[in-house]
A and B are shown apart, each in its own frame.
Chain A
Amino acid sequence: MEKWYLMTAVVLLGLTVRWTVSLNSYSGAGKPPMFGDYEAQRHWQEITFNLPIKQWYFNSSDNNLQYWGLDYPPLTAYHSLLCAYVAQFINPDWIALHSSRGYESQAHKLFMRATVLIADLLIYIPAVVLHCCCLKEISTKKKIANALCILLYPGLILIDYGHFHLGLALWGVLGVSCDWDLLGSLAFCLAVNYKQMELYHSLPFFCFLLGKCFKKGLKGKGFVLFVKLAGTVVASFTLCWLPFFTERAQALQVLRRLFPVDRGLFEDKVANIWCSVSVFLKIKDILPHHVQIIVSFCLTLLSLLPACVKLTLQPSPKGFRFTLVSCALSFFLFSFQVHEKSILLVSLPVCLVLSEIPFMSTWFLLVSTFSMLPLLLKDDLLMPSVVTTMAFFIACATSFSIFEKTSEEELRLKSFSVSVRKHLPRFTFLPRIIQHLFIISVITMVLLTLMTVTLDPPQKLPDLFSVLISTELTSANPPLLLRKTGPELTSVPIFLYFICGTPTTAWCAKRCHVRTQDSNWQTPGRQSRTYT
């Protein structure tokens, strides 16, 4: 491509930012006895290197599952094994069985950071660059700006360990969007086998590929494609799980480690519906365990059904990306045992739609980073998070001139607004509401950050700030609780916007015979007005 040097500069900048941030403290640094995620990664290298495969997922005297037992699928274990071989070559003390617990040193930190950087460089970054280059109907400069913004997204920079699974998932998205269906589904299967949370993205993949098969005709090419895809999926799963198929108990134990259903509806303070609602209504105490599971399952399914159905009937790469966002968000908001870091699974698809709805995406990505603030503060990452958030904001603001792109059409809410105007003719102020809400939201985030850092929360409510931060992301209803949960109201538009999925609203509006210009399928590429 022309201006390849600018793209190279962007990639180098992304790598530099990643490395400089990683020079800071890591999770659990100097905090015995459990330390943190960093120690977990090191421990997995120790376990996979020193013990035979049969013992990896089982509790034994050599492998105490309470101390960071493996709870990710086999590919993570294989990756840890690979890193362990390198570690063995450099310094065996790092992974010596038992004696290396809590091992911390400058050299080891460099090693761990280097493995993360190399994984990013080989998998994630090429996928981002390729995605931006394949974007249609936008200028080269816009593509490069897009790459810059995605690479500067703070969430993926600040969270410790490598995002192998997100890189693989991104390759999956790319492959499937560019009609390399088999390779794409292979990449995605590998991603699922790396971290089970990738299942958040599995429904859109399934629906998109199914839709493609339907389009090609069930009796001809479509069927062939279906069989090939099924074969690929089965083959990749078998390949990854092969060592564990020898005994039934093995496979079951792994599954039990991957899906700990007995751990409850949520842990910690995560920015989803259950945590927010439990501020007013102690769900955990009201509903029994199995009912919680059923309620959570039903709500998740209900919220993602419209988008998935639409994708199956009308498969397209654009619709696929939007559906990824809405499904991942549904899972995040309503699912069981969601971790704060799972917001990254939503952020990745939002990064992919950054060029289409820049304003909302930027807003969402800022709020998603902010929602992880308690975690980041725990790891002493205040300065890097503030700096990277500001850098991301500046990059997005200058690249996409987001503040000029808040008209109804640009927010893809034209069909929605038109249908509302049928009943309420005065409803023309949507863009202004959204702009004001954005400003309020940003101010709230800044204030909450300052408060969290400088003040201590009141004694009776020790998790007050964490809860406030998590409710910023979701929404809640009663105006009574404005004092406690003010930020939520500003997040209602984001939530509603993405969960409804703008192609879905257009499609529903069409189905309801609302005459409207369908802005989703016919929007021509816009020439950038900014860099002149």
Chain B
Amino acid sequence: MAALSVMTGGGSWFLALALGVTLLKCLLIPTYHSTDFEVHRNWLAITHSLPISQWYYEATSEWTLDYPPFFAWFEYALSHVAKYFDQEMLNVHNLNYSSSRTLLFQRFSVIFTDALFVYAVHECCKCVDGKKACKELTEKPKFILSVLLLWNFGLLIVDHIHFQYNGFLFGLMLLSIARLFQKRHMEGAFLFAVLLHFKHIYLYVAPAYGIYLLRSYCFTANKPDGSIRWNSFSFVRLISLGLTVFLVSALSLGPFLALNQLPQVFSRLFPFKRGLCHAYWAPNFWAVYNALDKVLSVIGPRGFLRCLILCALSSFMFGWHVHEKAILLAILPMSLLSVGKAGDASIFLILSTTGHYSLFPLLFTAPELPIKILLMLLFTIYSISSLKTLFRKEKPLFNWMETFYLLGLGPLEVFCEFVFPFTSWKLKYPFIPLLLTSVYCAVGITYAWFKLYVSVFTDPPVGKTKKQ
């Protein structure tokens, strides 16, 4: 009984939040799932039934394996548990197989692997500045950050309704960020390298990692005013970083190199569309180059985080073929900054509200309509109010223009979901709601991106002490 009372006593709010959101995820099991469900079932089947040499060649289903090898190994490991649920799902030819046991297994696998995300959030909370002495639990930055991350609307609906495995991947990313905040650079680099080989989309933010590690880890000391002391460059550290990345890549791509399948693997990972590549890599690099000289004089993990978010957002902005879900790559790290400064909180709120709203078209079925509206309201109202309360002593978070814009999302939703389907335009121009949503959200996201850029440039480099 004493153990139980300790467990439910003072410090267990984090556990309660984590368990609560896990139970909510269990309730979302019977909801709509997209074709991504079949994609992952197919990958379970491929990795379980076929030898490694066939993994990147198998094309029975249209959903071929197009993630790096670590993810394939992950699916392989899952498939060994899957066989106890339903053997039939592991048959490559059972296209669109979705028995109730398959559904249960797949949903539970996402919920279970989210444990890594929970751990990463716990580590991130340790990095948050607890200086603002609040006795009130709900006003502590740690508490607010935990809710913003654990109960993130985008992650909930993309992972647990639409169906994807973003939870543990973002867990890896947040954990590597946390390690960098905690000055455990090697671990951070290692985790990020591993992450890259799970899902290559994180290459977008690799420049931020590269530059920061170079700047803060390879140059071991700074001059008093904060700029680089060039003669403190440590080759040993550079080599060890390089070795880490190399070893991880070797582990991942090694077997395929041995089988001479590297070109095939790369063609799957980077579908060869010349225009696409030029369309989004170049502006991304250009955007990063712009900030490069400023970044080199930005001190501390906060600067790194800003750079990471900028990379993610820039790639989202300029790559028109990027999926809506990629906005999560910017929103989740931004949560870490939002509990630190009022300016960041304001940017975060605009970004997250419009970003989350842009995910609405992913769930277009009627039973899920109340869920997405209720959860969106829950997250938005909580995030805005809690951050406003946290920064109530500073100037207001939004000006009238921003407030107006955010409030406009309400009528937009009412129009798109409730009014438009009953008008005569539905037959002639069925794409109008999607168009309106995309354009409206693009305005908000661009604005947030711009504000973030400005804040990077106008942040005073001196006086920003290294945190923790």
Residues of A within 8 A of B (CB): 3, 5-6, 8-9, 12-13, 15-17, 19-21, 23-24, 106-107, 110, 117, 141, 383-384, 387-388, 390-391, 394-395, 397-398, 401-404, 435-436, 439, 529-532
Contact = CB atoms under 8 A, between A and B. Distances in A.
A5 B385 contact: yes
Q: Which 9 A-B pairs have the closest CB atoms?
A: A5-B385, A403-B5, A531-B137, A20-B27, A12-B378, A397-B8, A398-B16, A16-B374, A391-B23
Contacts of A24: 30
A9 B367 contact: no
Contacts of B138: 3, 6, 141, 531
Interface in B1-34: 1, 4-5, 8-10, 12-13, 16, 19-20, 23-24, 26-31
B1 A439 contact: yes
Given A9-B378, A403-B4, A439-B1, A530 B9 contact: yes
A3 to B, nearest CB: 7
A3 B385 CA distance: 9
A5 B382 contact: yes
A117 B385 CA distance: 26
Contacts of B367: 23, 106, 110
A17 B16 contact: no
Contacts of B8: 397-398, 401-403
B263 interface: no
B377 A383 contact: no
Contacts of A397: 4, 8
Nearest to B6: A403
B366 interface: yes
A23 B23 contact: no
Contacts of A532: 10, 135, 137
Contacts of B363: none
Contact of B27 (A6, A384, A395, A403): A384
A390 B23 CA distance: 8
Given A401-B8, A532-B10, A532-B137, A19 B31 contact: no
**Which one of A13, A21, A398 has the greatest number of beta carbons of chain B within 10 Å?**
A398
B411 interface: no
A137 to B, nearest CB: 19
Contacts of B24: 16-17, 20, 391
A15 B5 contact: no
Contacts of B20: 391, 394-395
B16 A16 contact: no
Given A383-B29, A394-B20, 5 more contacts: A9-B382, A12-B374, A12-B381, A390-B23, A531-B13
Interface string B362-383: 0000110011001101100110
Nearest to A404: B5
Given A8-B381, A532-B137, A17 B27 contact: yes
Contacts of B9: 401, 404, 530
B378 A16 contact: yes
A16 B31 CA distance: 13
Contact of B23 (A12, A387, A529): A387
27 contacts: A5-B385, A5-B389, A6-B138, A9-B378, A9-B382, A16-B370, A16-B378, A17-B27, A19-B371, A20-B371, A21-B27, A106-B366, A106-B367, A110-B366, A110-B367, A384-B27, A391-B23, A394-B19, A395-B16, A397-B4, A397-B8, A398-B12, A404-B9, A529-B10, A531-B137, A531-B138, A532-B135
Interface in B235-266: none
Nearest to A438: B1
B381 A5 contact: yes
B386 interface: yes
Given A398-B12, A402-B8, A20 B23 contact: no
Nearest to A529: B10
Given A5-B382, A12-B377, A383-B29, A19 B370 contact: yes
Contacts of A439: 1
Contacts of A395: 16, 20
B1 A383 contact: no
B232 to A, nearest CB: 45
Interface string B122-139: 000000000000011110
A9 B4 CA distance: 27
A404 B3 CA distance: 11
Given A110-B366, A398-B8, A531-B13, A20 B378 contact: no
A350 to B, nearest CB: 20
A11 to B, nearest CB: 9
B5 A401 contact: yes
A5 B23 contact: no
Interface in B378-426: 378, 381-382, 385-386, 389
Nearest to B374: A16
A9 B381 contact: yes
A391 B367 CA distance: 23
Nearest to A13: B378
Contacts of A391: 20, 23-24
A19 to B, nearest CB: 5
Nearest to A141: B138
Nearest to B365: A106
Nearest to A21: B27
Contacts of A20: 24, 27-28, 31, 371
Contact of A15 (B30, B31, B374): B374
Contacts of B29: 383
A493 to B, nearest CB: 15
Contacts of B16: 394-395, 398
Contacts of A117: 370
A383 B108 CA distance: 12
A389 B436 CA distance: 42
A20 B1 CA distance: 33
Nearest to B25: A387
Contacts of B382: 5-6, 9
Contacts of B374: 12, 15-16, 19
**Which one of A15, A16, A388, A402 has the greatest number of beta carbons of chain B within 10 Å?**
A16
